[in-house]
Structure 1
Amino acid sequence: MPYALFDGDRQIGPGLPTEPEVWKHALRSGLISDVPVADEAGGQVLPAGYHVKEIREECCAPDPAWKLPREIS
């Protein structure tokens, strides 16, 4: 599942395949000055209200009863 950056409940970054990619995007965008490291103890890295979370990609399966026309004019 992809991850994205959020401000409260609003998604403000693109959906990316991994959480580290979201952190790198936030770094390139200037939201943070350093990517957090798992073994370092630290405080809030993102601005208040911002967080990274897993998102669900919405995709729709085509209706199996739907048929393409033989010719499109």
Structure 2
Amino acid sequence: MPYALFCNEAKLSKAYPTEADVWRLARQSGLVVDVMINARRTAGHLQLDNDYEIRPCAAEPEEDPWQNRVEAEQEFNIPFAS
């Protein structure tokens, strides 16, 4: 099942083969923030900014999530794990 970036119910990105692919693209786009979960600032986790979320989705009829991944890797110079 492919994944994409959403805000509320609107699909904002192309579909990609894995959730990790969308996280990499969101991080590259500046949509990921580091949130501290304790007062000592020794523990934190990454989350999406604002109301963004990554969800499974159906690819558009003419869309190939694997080709989207290849194009993103070339455009943003992001090495995706295989």
Alignment TM class, shorter chain as reference: 0.5 to 0.7
**Structure 2 residue identity aligned to 1:22:** V
The normalised TM-score by structure 2 is 0.54
Give 1:1-73 correspondences, 5 Å limit.
1-33=1-33, 42=44, 45-59=47-61
| Larger-gyration structure (1/2) | 1
Q: How much does 1:32 deviate? A: 1.3
Q: Any unmatched runs of 5+ in structure 1?
A: 35-40, 61-73
| CA deviations over 1:14-68 (Å, ceiling 9, x no partner) | 210000000000011111156xxxxxx75671122111100012438xxxxxxxx
**Structure 2 residue identity aligned to 1:32:** V
Name the structure with the higher strand share: 2
Q: Any unmatched runs of 5+ in structure 2?
A: 35-42, 63-82
> How far apart are the structure 1 equivalents of 2:33 and 2:46?
12
Number of residue pairs matched by the alignment: 54
RMSD over equivalenced CA pairs, Å: 2.4
Cα distance change, pair 4–28 in 1 and its aligned pair in 2 (3 A) = same
The normalised TM-score by structure 1 is 0.60
Percent of paired sites with the same residue? 39
Name the structure with the higher helix share: 2
Contact 2:33 2:48 (C-alpha < 8 Å) held by counterparts? no
